[in-house]
Amino acid sequence: MSLRTINISLPSDILTTLNESESELQKRIKVSLAIQLYLQLKVTIGKAAQIAEMSRLEFETYLSENKIPISSLGLKEVLEDSQKLK
């Protein structure tokens, strides 16, 4: 997987305000972006995990721990899928 660097500008005192290191803030931004893109159905859960620099299992666990749905399937779709399996 090749990577692309994107620069963003933030207030100069953001690290002090958040009491975080630059690497901690970078990680937080990547995870937040991954979650938002996943929730907006812009990327798959696998791609979101890549953006967050986590394994898929780590990302799914993080979502679960933060009460973020891992699947976008509704009850109707789950019931339809279960009928197909019979």
Q: Is residue 3 part of a domain?
A: no
Can you give the residue range of the structural domain that contains 81?
19-85
* Assigned domain for 9 exists: no
Question: Does a structural domain hold residue 67?
Answer: yes
Structural domain includes residue 1 = no
Q: How many structural domains is the chain composed of?
A: 1
What pLDDT does 80 receive? 75
Q: Is the pLDDT of residue 6 over 80?
A: yes
**Per-residue confidence (pLDDT) for residue 44, from 0 to 100:** 93
Where would I find the H helices in 4-74? 14-18, 22-39, 45-51, 56-65
Q: Is a pLDDT exceeding 80 seen at residue 76?
A: no
In a domain, 12, yes or no: no
Q: Tell me: the pLDDT tens digits for 16-67?
A: 999 999 999 999 999 999 999 999 999 999 999 999 999 999 999 999 999 9
46 in a structural domain: yes
- Report the pLDDT value the prediction gives residue 84, as an integer from 0 to 100: 77
pLDDT at 1: 72
